[in-house]
Structure 1
Amino acid sequence: MSRPRPWFRQRRRRAPVLAVGLLLATAVAVASVLAFAAGGQAPSPDTAPDTAAPSSESPIRPGGPAPRDERADREQMLRPHDSAARETPFYRGSSGSGEPDTAGTTPEEEPRSEPRDLPPHLVDHLEGLLAEDDITDIEELSVAVLDPDGHLVAGHEPERAVVPASTQKLVTSAAALRELGPEHEFTTRAVATGPIIDGTLEGDLVIVGEGDPTLASEPFRDEVHPQRPHTPIEPLTEAVEEAGVDTIEGSVLGDPSFFADEPEPGGWRERYFHSLDTTRSSGLTIDAGRELEERDGRLLGAAAEDPALTTAEVVTELLDDADIDVDGDPGRAPSEDGHTHPEAEELGAVHSPPLGELLEVVMQESDNHLADATFRTLGAHDGNPTWGGSDDAVREALRDLDPSWGDAVLADGSGLSRDDRLSALLLAELDHAVTAEHDEFWRETHAVAGESGTLRRRLTGTAAEGNVFAKTGTLRDSRALAGHVDSRDGDRYHFAILGGDLDGPGIQAVRRLQDDLALVLADPPDCEPADHPGTCDPPEDDESDDGENDDGENDDGADG
């Protein structure tokens, strides 16, 4: 069976076409000069025909790729924003418009830098790694490597959309950082739907959620996930007690209406809930969407069928512990109560840790529940609290970076969905652009090879240790890695490797490619590749990779 040609080979075949194009452009320019000298007028930008180059004001269409002629005219890179021209904060959720100051300039008018000189044998080694037989045999593979200026210097079908697994979290985190800002907090409120008379709340107590994925009870904080960011729920019941309430005539109701009632997106598997790889999505969630139960002295957890109802049950128990009587059973609030009830009185509120702290856990520990709550919050803030609305909101938040969306599909924010699709070029471009904007903050969200997160056991004792900053992705038949590498020469390369529909040998091949490519970028060989690309030493037998994943991601084996 014939295989797609690696990108670097496809590019070389375009050289004759480019040469002919240059000759034609030269001929048109000469003719214009002669016509002007003869008393005519060369076309001006204002009088150019409609077939002129597309306007810089036309964004990539949210649902798919730009028309082919537009994409052919684009260099496959993203330029860092001119920081001198950006006087507004880098996220829209702050004061000011949050939009870059582009008055008087367009992207097409800015000069593009030429690809810089790379280490002499770097590209040869990268091409050699991509030409290995076990790599070219993989049907679903997308690879992209960008130089420090964002130029594509090597790759294999870099624009092919592949199942990204948890590298989808890189896109979610980038959009949240730009749209909401690192100081954004999730708020959960306790409101009374009736008056408080002589210690009696004549109505319901409604717990109003705004998507906080860190709201937690004491047992969850102390025994289940002590290292995870938390928003203690107890201050809400303490506020009820401080308001002088000793009896609630109604019920404790959970209001999850900040998100649309869509517990899961397309492409999730039912077994995700059984294995607790994730839980059902809701605008009001406690204990990461789990229902805790103590049995035989052990604390057990299961995915809650209705997270908002579970939250109301926990609050009812806390009120009972505080000797506050609740006449009704816990329940779920009608949409008009709490969140939109005009007569509701706020008794108390709790606020989550800042978003920046949460994104470190999303990226380093690959927390699916945090990622999907963040994804859905973007949709809610954009006015469409559905999964589809979140897809639109992410694209809008990243629109001015003009990434290569192509056939990308954002079914969720975690990468668990089998409907998700991203290309290596899109991920590498985004990592390059967001690193240029946020520098150290963005880098600190990444796992680091040999040091932290899901890369803590990868590439230890090598030149890549401490120099690879990336997001891993793992499903049963998918392996992905996206981020950047600091080389020994002081350069920084951005890359992504996505492999899908893999069998056992394919998993091993992609895993080895990820490690070898990172090593080459971290310490570019000073020799020609010869018969062993990636190193100047003869290859040794590698028996360390048995095909099992050791990234430590909590979506390991989630799909099959």
Structure 2
Amino acid sequence: MTRAVSRRFFLSGLVGAGLAGPALANAPSVSLRPQARLVGAAKRAMGGPESLLANSGLSGTISIAVADVKSGALLEGVNATSGQPPASVSKAITALYALDALGAEHRFHTRLIADGPVQNGVLRGDLYLAGGGDPTLDTDGLALLAARLKEAGVREVQGAFRVYDGALPYIRSIDPGQPDHVGYSPAVSGIALNFNRVYFEWKRSGSSYAISMDARTAKYRPEVQSARMGLADRQLPVYSYAERDGVDEWSVARGALGQNGGRWLPVRSPGLYAGDVFRTLARSQGIALKAARLSGGLPGGATVLAQVSSEPLGRILRDMLKWSTNITAEMVGLAATQARGGSASSLEASGRAMSAWAKSSFGMTQISLVDHSGLGDASRMSAQELVQALVQVRRRGILRPILKPIPIRDERGRVQENHPIKVDAKTGTLNFVSGLGGYMTAADGTELAFAIFAADTDIRARIKRQDREVPQGARTWNGKARRLQQQLIQRWGAMYGG
């Protein structure tokens, strides 16, 4: 079902907790405030966090802040007011923004619309596949939609087959600065299929390869015509891309393939991709469709023949925060901006609208976001202001229930089972950028909100576009950042949690 747009949180339906709370329409009346705490000699001997930061081996800038959720007291801060790239930690703000604008029970709908009558099983007019901004639509969903079209009595379509993707603006790549072939920066539009990714598979047979492109799920594996792959006798680049008449034309260096394998590649023409796959699935139901065409609008007075709906938004956001799916963040963020009456003409415009909302809701005066996923490294957020927001929403029972549990690890990176400190947070990782923001509960039950940002923007700026998937030194740097996060969390648990 659809839900009336509201500026209030109605979160009672959110999975795993009763989350109803007041609106976040105004900045908090009380800001985080420093508060002295009495500690024992052992705690005093730990000193401040500066030694951990200095010994981390990280280049660039590190910012941290931690506060007591109950009192709102800022317990520690280093460079806490400095604006830093938040990476995917910004998805926590996106989740709050989408819940505020749309509500936890909001669902996205993908419909089949008839522009003409159905007479004796024949649609005497055009058939529209109308995207409704569902970021989770997959091939299984399209297969169900095709089956429902047959159940509606349609066995033939005389007119054209059109795909409407205008529910959200078309954006060719979430971050144009990323290499063409990375699956985490696909196109965005009002229809998405399989997170706008297509699966490229290769199988070696002697000196040759069998290659395919498909829209697979666990149940289906339809081959696609809207994306093609060719083999090239070259060393570099591994992948090359060109768009020709709405078809994604790829080539891959033969010498880079090795034995059997596969990977997801981004889709740049989401509407034609979804139409291509739906046409195959409709054919399996005995319904022949013409090749898909994009449509800039929907016909007035048309009839809805079939529909599939997403899970409630609360569950979508829980999965987004767990798996850090960029396209989900962008699509729900754009939908939220539209619902609030703001400009969603581009990711940057919608990011500005979300930043303005965060400023008015939480007093985040320094926030400046260029998208909703954190993939764009021009976004900025301060650790202290994020913690301020986290304290406010936690007092309303919001956000922590859908954050991902983060295990405590030892110095060798091994998970420590049944550790007394419990952490629920959002991670953020770009090359030479690392963030973690969320909540921790210490052994004595003390609940803290924290944010840890680290970035070496100078090194990152020097990386060539073609090298941005795995640049030299990035894994080592980001590994050091994750170790520092663990050390800080364990320090805070000992220092402020008994």
- 2:9 aligns to what? 90
User: Counterpart of 2:157 in structure 1: which amino acid?
Assistant: I
The structure whose residues are more often strand, as a share, is 2
Of 343, 359, 362, the residue aligned with 1:402 is: 362
Counterpart of 2:66 in structure 1 is: 145
Once the two structures are superposed, residues 275-304 of structure 1 have per-residue CA deviations (whole angstroms, 9 ceiling, x without a partner) of: 312321111011110234676597564322
In the superposition, relative to structure 1, how do residues 147 and 462 fare at CA in structure 2: closer, same or farther (>3 Å)? farther
Letter matched to residue 382 of structure 1: R
Q: Mean Cα displacement is larger for which, 295-304 or 279-288?
A: 295-304
Please tell me the root mean square deviation across aligned C-alpha atoms, in Å.
3.6
Matches within 5 A, 1:338-417: 338=298, 341-383=299-341, 384-386=343-345, 387-395=347-355, 397-406=357-366, 408-417=367-376
In structure 2, distance between residues paired with 1:212 and 1:376 = 12
CA distance in 2 between counterparts of 1:106 and 1:474 reads 29
Alignment pair present for 1:211 and 2:133: yes
Match of 1:84 in 2: none
2:273 aligned with 1:310, yes or no? yes
Deviation string, structure 1 residues 243-301 (Cα, Å, up to 9, x no partner): 32222122222111111122335x44342x51312321111011110234676597564
Write the deviation string for residues 205-251 of structure 1: whole angstroms up to 9, x where unpaired: 11111210111113xxxxxxxxxxxxx22232223223322221222
Q: Which runs of 4+ in 1 moved over 6 A?
A: 110-114
Q: Deviations over 1:323-368 (max 9, x none)?
A: 1122x321111x23x2xx2122111111101111122221122222
Q: State the distance in 2 between where 1:501 and 1:112 align.
A: 27
Q: Distance in 2 between matches of 1:257 and 1:244?
A: 27
Higher-RCO chain (CA-CA 8 Å, sequence separation at least 6): 2
Q: Relative to structure 1, is the Cα distance of residues 89 and 372 closer, same or farther in structure 2, using a 3 angstrom cutoff?
A: closer
2:237 equivalent to 1:278: no
Question: In the aligned structure 1, how far is the partner of 2:31 from the partner of 2:404?
Answer: 34
The answer to whether structure 1 residue 447 and structure 2 residue 404 are counterparts is yes
Work out which of the residue numbers 502, 516, 522 in structure 1 matches 2:493: 522
Is residue 197 from structure 1 mapped to residue 119 from structure 2 by the alignment? yes
User: What is the rounded CA distance, in whole Å, between the counterparts of 1:112 and 1:264 in structure 2?
Assistant: 38
Q: Is the 8 A contact 1:449 1:465 kept in 2?
A: no
Over 3 Å counting, the alpha-carbon distance change for 1:485 and 1:93 in structure 2 is closer
The match for 2:392 is 433
> Do the aligned residues in 2 keep the contact of 1:252 with 1:315 (CA within 8 Å)?
no
Q: Distance in 2 between matches of 1:385 and 1:343?
A: 26
Paired residues of 1:379 and 1:390 also in contact (CA < 8 A): yes
Structure 2, unmatched stretches of 5+, are: 1-6, 14-20, 203-209, 215-261, 460-472
Shift of 1:424: 1.1
> What letter is aligned with 2:196?
G
Q: Secondary structure at the match of 2:75?
A: strand
Secondary structure at the residue paired with 2:84?
A: coil
C-alpha spacing 1:356/1:216, structure 2 compared with 1 (3 Å): same
Question: Match of 1:180?
Answer: 102
Q: Which runs of 5+ in 1 are unaligned?
A: 1-87, 219-231, 528-560
**Aligned residue for 1:269?**
177
1:91 Cα deviation from its structure 2 partner: 4.1
SS in 2 for 1:191: strand
Distance in 1 of aligned mates of 2:431 and 2:27: 44
Distance 1:163 1:111, change over 3 A: closer
Instruction: Say which structure is richer in helix.
Output: 1
Q: Which has the larger radius of gyration?
A: 1
C-alpha change, 1:509 and 1:312, in structure 2 (3 Å) is: closer
Number of the residue aligned with 2:194? 287
Return the offset for 1:123: 7.7
Residue 77 of structure 2: SS of its match in structure 1? strand
Aligned partner of 2:440 among 482, 485, 509: 485
Separation in structure 2 between the aligned mates of residue 119 and residue 460 of structure 1, nearest angstrom: 29
Determine the structure 1 residue equivalent to 2:415. 460
Residue matched to 1:331: 293
In the TM superposition, residue 111 of structure 1 has moved relative to its aligned partner by 11
Q: Distance in 2 between matches of 1:399 and 1:167?
A: 17
TM-score scaled by structure 2? 0.72
1:241 aligns with 2:150: yes
Bigger mean CA deviation after superposition, 481-490 or 191-200: 191-200
Q: CA deviation at 1:436?
A: 1.6
The 3-state SS of whatever aligns with 2:381 is coil
- The share of aligned pairs that are identical, in percent, is 25
TM-score norm. by structure 1 comes to 0.65
CA contact (8 A) 2:33 2:72 kept: no
Distance 1:136 1:330, change over 3 A: closer
